[in-house]
Amino acid sequence: MNVLRAAVGILGFALLGLVLWAALAKPDLHGTIFDQFAVLTTLPWGVATLADLLIGFVFFATIVFLTERSWVVAALWAAPIFLLGNIWAALWLVIRLPHLAKQLSKPDWPNS
């Protein structure tokens, strides 16, 4: 379990680094984030990738709501995914993975 948590954490930090690199890239070379987003939304694969990303966020939010005990806690974990992306999902997984694994190993889950 610790190896899996470490792997998720490392990937989360790698993603954070990638996002910071993109955010700090010189806008005079490639345009601002808004310019790049405008180009991305004109490309079929850009639209498909963005749809895939947003649907994945909904899937993640669903898992959070199914596994957290409180709706308030679930909402506080699920809502930021739409702004912070999978870096937030990695943080949740690192924290909740042991509990999630225990919950999923119950034979009568989710009715328990």
Predicted confidence (pLDDT) per residue in 50-89, tens digit: 999 999 999 999 999 999 989 999 999 999 999 999 999 9
Query: So where are the chain's domains?
Result: 2-104
- Residues of the chain with pLDDT > 70, as a percent, come to 96
pLDDT of residue 111: 67
Return d(Cα 36, Cα 54) in angstroms, integer.
Answer: 18
Distance, CA of 98 to CA of 2 (rounded, Å)? 9
- Please give the Cα distance from 92 to 80 (Å, whole number): 11
- pTM higher than 0.75, yes or no? yes
pLDDT at 14 over 90: yes
Structure tokens, 54? 């947003």
What's the rounded mean pLDDT across residues 23-40? 84
The helix-helix angle for 44-67 and 71-78 (nearest 10°) equals 160
